[in-house]
Structure 1
Amino acid sequence: MATTLHVDDGAGRAPALRLAPTVSARRAFGEIPPPALVLLGIISVQVGAALATHLFGTVGSLGTVSLRIFFAAAVLMLAWRPSPRLTRRTWAVIAGYGVTLGAMNLCFYLALARIPLGVAVTIEFLGPLAVALLGSRRWLDGLWALLAAGGVVLLMDAGGGGLDLVGILLALAAGTCWGVYILAGAALGRHTTAGNGLALGMAVAALMVVPFGIAQGGTALLRPWVLAAGLGVALMSSVIPYSLELEALRKIPPRVFGILMSLEPAVAALVGLVVLGESLHWPQWLAVLCVAAASVGASLKAKAER
Structure 2
Amino acid sequence: MYSDFTMISAQTGLHVEVLEMCDLDRMLREVTPQEVRAKLAEVHEMFQISGDSPSDPIAKKPTDEQLEWSCKVAAAQEKLVRAYDLDALSYYYHGAPGGDYEKLQGGFIVGHSLLTARGIPCSGEGDLKTAVAMKISDILGVGGSFSEIVVVDYIDETILLGHDGPFHIAISEGKPILRGMGLYHGKQGTGVSVEAKVKTGAITTLNVTQTGDGRLKLISSEGESTSGPIMKIGNTQTPVKFRDHPDAYMTRWFAEAPTHHCAMSIGHNASMFQKVAELMKMKHVIL
**TM-score bracket for this pair, using the shorter chain length:** under 0.3
TM-score, scaled relative to structure 2:
0.26
Write 1 or 2 for the structure with the bigger share of strand: 2
Structure of higher RCO (CA pairs closer than 8 Å, 6+ residues apart): 1
TM-score, scaled relative to structure 1:
0.24
